[in-house]
A and B are shown apart, each in its own frame.
Chain A
Amino acid sequence: MSVKVALPKGRLLARTAALLQNAGWGLDGYHEKARLYRLKCAKFPSLSAKIFHERDIPIQVAIGNYDLGICGLDWVEELLAKYPSSALVKIRDLGYGHGALFVVASRWGEISTLAQVKTRPGLVRIVSEYPNLAESFALRQRLSRFSIFPVWGGAEAYPPENAELALVRGRTEAELDSYGMVVVARVLDYSAFLIANRSSWEAKELDSVVASICNGSGLLAEEDSSTETVMAPEIGHEYLKATDDIVRLALPDGHQQAALLELLDKAGIRVEDYPSAVGNRRPRINLEGVSVKVIRPQDMPLQVANGNFDLAITGRDWLLEHLYQFPSSPVKEILDLKQGKVRMVAVVSQTLPAADVYSLREFATARKEPFRVASEYVNIADKYARENHLGHYRVIPTWGATEAFLPEDADLLIENTETGQTIARHNLKIIDTLFESTACLIGHARIRSSSKKGKRIKSIIDILRAAVGG
């Protein structure tokens, strides 16, 4: 009988690999630089393992694609907070990857206790990578008016001016304190867990695999619990005293930074400590009346829509993802920065008998089972499946390493590609191109050009336009 196991990428990978080595699994290629996501196990020849983004693992196990999985309890609880009847069994605490989820406010804001949050008039905005846990926190605390802003990362950067609270990961309160955060509540303590699909657990013989994982975890060395203390970068004064005249600009973290720096340089714009080695999200800029914050490009359109930023540099893919979800959003593309070009493509397995979207439609609608579309871009994927009449389809949200889903865990991917090499390496083929995406400057559709701020915004646009050469 075959056993399928989902293993984590990222923060838990090293310890999990050590555990499975102790257990004598003999996995081929489970390490940080793994280029292929399917692994064979020497100890259990009938076992197949696959590497996922940690956040995908509870979902994959719950829907029954995998019998067992290893991931943080935080992501398990995030799923259960919204879907309590998920078919998941928490088998065992593996004793590493410890951390906790905290609801925090900013030291520079007005909130420092839970009581203050509850008695505060008006809207309480909570930012988090864990929107379901944030919502259940708000409901449990009986906050009468609240908005949850799901973000892909950098939640701690939002309070105090862009949110009242953030629900973030941390190891200790002291650590968060050193980052300038005030802990308002401790929501969950987590560590790495072995989880199982409920029906697999009830019906399948998983005993030898489970026993070896338990033995392996018993042999693990003590986790290094020393925490490095990082000093909080000082918040620029312009942020705290942000008047109506100050232009708030969001710059992306991540891989877009290098190309963007070149462009900024050409435009004569200097940003200190960007990219930052110490996680500074509020670098200074040499433009008067402009304050900068560094956040995830995925999160920018929503933040601009809500008036937290006037301008932001993100990809057109994320702008469209936002506009497909909220067609009446006031965010628009202002300037194409003509760099970081990728194509948004529809991808299927080489073995799927479909060469284009028309034959794909025939294939999808002729099938009994629902057609599974996996994507980081849930709304773009949903629109594509809807408009191409892919029949009874389901969109599976993913958090990266999407190529690993085909062919067994999804039928179609919607993802971006620069060269198409990764897609080919995973034995997949592109059957359609949805659009081309480049970096772009986005902003709010309603900017009064006559105001002082409006003029500042216009001058930034002009400088960048000249640098792009358009």
Chain B
Amino acid sequence: MKVQRCKGTRDLSPEEMTRFRLIEGTFRDCCLKWGYQEVRTPTIEYLHLFTSAGTLTPSMLGKVYSFLDWDGWSGERVVLRPEGTIPVARLYIDMMKRGLAKLCYVVNTFIFEETGKKTRERWQCGAELIGVNTPSGDAELILLALEVLKKLKLEGVELRLSHAGLIKALLGKLDLSPEEQAQMFDRILDGDRRALAKLKSGKAELDAIIFPLLNLKGRSSGFLKNLKALSAQALPEFEPYFDNFIAIVDILEALGYDYQIDIASGAGFEYYTGVIFQFFSGGEKIGGGGRYDDLIPSMGGGDIPASGFALYLDRLMNLIKPEMLAEPPGQMVLVKPASAELWKQAFSACQRLREAGHVAKLYLGEKAPAGSRWTLEIQDKEPSYLLRDGVKSSRTEAQSVEEVITLLEEESERKGSLA
């Protein structure tokens, strides 16, 4: 019988795990240096955390993995974490209560994907900045994400910006009931651009401002300032959103970052309230985030603003260039005792090699893989150690493990100087 992997799941091979750890490690290093602390939330949460208005869109809620736990006789359902931010917000309310928190995490999320062709378990690297509501805070998150992507040597990374506050204000101007507004916002967040085409405000002069706003794309804060001027008379209440958006964009511009403004591309979560940012590479979305000032208040955590982002590990893994996958430091040595009596010497030789920073593999009867360079033979006669170089087809005798380590180091230095 064929052993089946669960539909919609994936295994990570040793090669893929090298990519995974490179991204995870780079992300953690950057975050720690920016003063973020790592946290991890449980895989299972209560469903009600995600069902309130202003959390997940109904279309996402229809795809979560929810079930009754073994003690679910009260009807309280649990869910496999469908996204990373809400659990971290819960953790903040639970553990930190008040004040500024800079948190980062690497977690898996679960969303049902009908065809089973894409994965239903996905990994993300996320960072949340809780307790601040300033343009510089939003800019920090964008720059942090861009730094991670840069360190991963990803080329052609595009930054697209939108603003949830502005979208909501625009929808508020249209002839829609509050319920229809919420639905339309969800549809925009779910990436349904056609939804916008069907809208009408009922007033020609408003249409003349709103639709260009929703459909225009621009590349500078000048663009936003123009839009602000255009709408200042008819829509004065839009001003704070424009000012906030312009302030963020000004910081990016001053630092020399490229970006594109596309109001209607607000893909993301219903809990966004301010700027929304997305990262693309080769046309594929590799991450995104935004400001969500109403989430923690709606969860009962008090009036705490926040923003954050997530990078999609599964997609980044495909974009990592092979040269980024450095070999482990030191040399890889296969340690091979000549007879059964020499196990003790073999284990201690391995230990010394590892302490010296090399990778030591004990010979267990396997064939040496092609291209593996060093084999250390341990003999019960003189010389006690014989180091074979599979690349040069040479062998060197040694009396002690220390001598072997010196030989390996000389070789490493030579390699280093050649490079």
Where the two chains meet, the residues of A that have a C-beta atom closer than 8 Å to any C-beta of B are 84-85, 125, 136, 138-140, 142-149, 302, 305-306, 322, 325-329, 368, 392
Q: Which 5 A-B pairs have the closest CB atoms?
A: A147-B75, A144-B52, A326-B73, A305-B73, A328-B71
A245 vs B68: C-alpha distance when bound (angstroms): 32
Q: Which residues of B143-190 have CB atoms within 8 Å of chain A's CB atoms?
A: none
Contact B51–A125 (Cβ < 8 Å): no
In the complex, whether B48 has a CB less than 8 A from a CB of chain A is yes
In the complex, whether B114 has a CB less than 8 A from a CB of chain A is yes
Q: A144-B53, A327-B70, A368-B1 are in contact. Are A85 and B75 (CB under 8 A)?
A: no
In the complex, whether B35 has a CB less than 8 A from a CB of chain A is no
Q: A139-B61, A368-B1 are in contact. Are A329 and B73 (CB under 8 A)?
A: yes
Q: Which residues of B29-75 have CB atoms within 8 Å of chain A's CB atoms?
A: 48, 51-53, 58, 61-62, 68, 70-75
Nearest CB on B from A36, distance (A): 36
Nearest CB on B from A150, distance (A): 9
List residues of chain A with CB within 8 A of the CB of B51. Answer: 138-139, 142-146
Q: A306-B73, A306-B74, A327-B70 are in contact. Are A142 and B114 (CB under 8 A)?
A: no
Q: With A84-B114, A145-B51 given, can you name 13 additional A-B contacts, CB distance below 8 Å?
A: A84-B62, A139-B51, A142-B53, A143-B51, A144-B48, A144-B51, A146-B48, A147-B75, A147-B77, A305-B74, A322-B73, A328-B70, A392-B1
List residues of chain B with CB within 8 A of the CB of A84. Answer: 62, 114
List residues of chain B with CB within 8 A of the CB of A140. Answer: 58
Contact B61–A85 (Cβ < 8 Å): no
A307 — nearest CB in chain B belongs to which residue?
B74
A322 vs B68: C-alpha distance when bound (angstroms): 12
In the complex, whether B410 has a CB less than 8 A from a CB of chain A is no
A281 vs B76: C-alpha distance when bound (angstroms): 27
List residues of chain A with CB within 8 A of the CB of B72. Answer: 326
A138 vs B70: C-alpha distance when bound (angstroms): 23
List residues of chain A with CB within 8 A of the CB of B52. Answer: 142, 144
Most buried by B among A142, A325, A326: A142
Nearest CB on B from A162, distance (A): 12
Contact B74–A147 (Cβ < 8 Å): yes
| Subset of 12 A-B contacts with CB under 8 Å | A84-B114, A85-B114, A136-B62, A139-B58, A139-B61, A139-B62, A142-B51, A143-B51, A326-B68, A326-B70, A326-B72, A392-B1
Nearest CB on B from A123, distance (A): 9
Nearest CB on B from A147, distance (A): 3
A140 vs B53: C-alpha distance when bound (angstroms): 10
B72 — nearest CB in chain A belongs to which residue?
A326
B66 — nearest CB in chain A belongs to which residue?
A135
A289 vs B74: C-alpha distance when bound (angstroms): 26
A331 vs B1: C-alpha distance when bound (angstroms): 42
A139 vs B61: C-alpha distance when bound (angstroms): 7
A138 vs B58: C-alpha distance when bound (angstroms): 10
A85 vs B61: C-alpha distance when bound (angstroms): 16
A149 vs B70: C-alpha distance when bound (angstroms): 15
Q: A136-B62, A146-B51 are in contact. Are A306 and B71 (CB under 8 A)?
A: no
List residues of chain B with CB within 8 A of the CB of A148. Answer: 75, 77
A143 — nearest CB in chain B belongs to which residue?
B51
Nearest CB on A from B120, distance (A): 13
A327 vs B68: C-alpha distance when bound (angstroms): 12
A148 — nearest CB in chain B belongs to which residue?
B75
A324 — nearest CB in chain B belongs to which residue?
B70
List residues of chain A with CB within 8 A of the CB of B68. Answer: 325-326
A392 vs B2: C-alpha distance when bound (angstroms): 11
List residues of chain A with CB within 8 A of the CB of B114. Answer: 84-85
A330 — nearest CB in chain B belongs to which residue?
B73
A331 — nearest CB in chain B belongs to which residue?
B73
A144 vs B1: C-alpha distance when bound (angstroms): 45
Residues 68-106 of chain B, each 1 if its beta carbon lies under 8 Å from chain A, else 0: 101111111100000000000000000000000000000
Nearest CB on A from B118, distance (A): 14
List residues of chain B with CB within 8 A of the CB of A149. Answer: 75
List residues of chain B with CB within 8 A of the CB of A302. Answer: 73
Kindly identify which residue among B48, B53, B71 contacts A326, using a CB–CB cutoff of 8 Å. B71
A142 vs B61: C-alpha distance when bound (angstroms): 10
A104 vs B114: C-alpha distance when bound (angstroms): 32
List residues of chain B with CB within 8 A of the CB of A329. Answer: 71, 73
Nearest CB on B from A365, distance (A): 9
List residues of chain A with CB within 8 A of the CB of B77. Answer: 147-148
List residues of chain B with CB within 8 A of the CB of A125. Answer: 75
Nearest CB on A from B266, distance (A): 20
Contact A142–B71 (Cβ < 8 Å): no
Contact A147–B62 (Cβ < 8 Å): no
List residues of chain A with CB within 8 A of the CB of B62. Answer: 84, 136, 139
Kindly identify which residue among B58, B61, B70, B76 contacts A147, using a CB–CB cutoff of 8 Å. B76
A356 vs B218: C-alpha distance when bound (angstroms): 75
A306 — nearest CB in chain B belongs to which residue?
B74
List residues of chain A with CB within 8 A of the CB of B75. Answer: 125, 147-149, 306
Residues 108-134 of chain B, each 1 if its beta carbon lies under 8 Å from chain A, else 0: 000000100000000000000000000
A138 — nearest CB in chain B belongs to which residue?
B51
A85 — nearest CB in chain B belongs to which residue?
B114
B53 — nearest CB in chain A belongs to which residue?
A142
A304 — nearest CB in chain B belongs to which residue?
B73
List residues of chain B with CB within 8 A of the CB of A138. Answer: 51
Nearest CB on B from A85, distance (A): 5
Nearest CB on A from B222, distance (A): 40
A85 vs B112: C-alpha distance when bound (angstroms): 12
A392 — nearest CB in chain B belongs to which residue?
B1
Most buried by B among A125, A144, A145, A146: A144
A84 vs B115: C-alpha distance when bound (angstroms): 11
List residues of chain B with CB within 8 A of the CB of A139. Answer: 51, 58, 61-62
A328 vs B76: C-alpha distance when bound (angstroms): 14
A456 vs B349: C-alpha distance when bound (angstroms): 78
List residues of chain A with CB within 8 A of the CB of B53. Answer: 142, 144
Nearest CB on A from B63, distance (A): 10
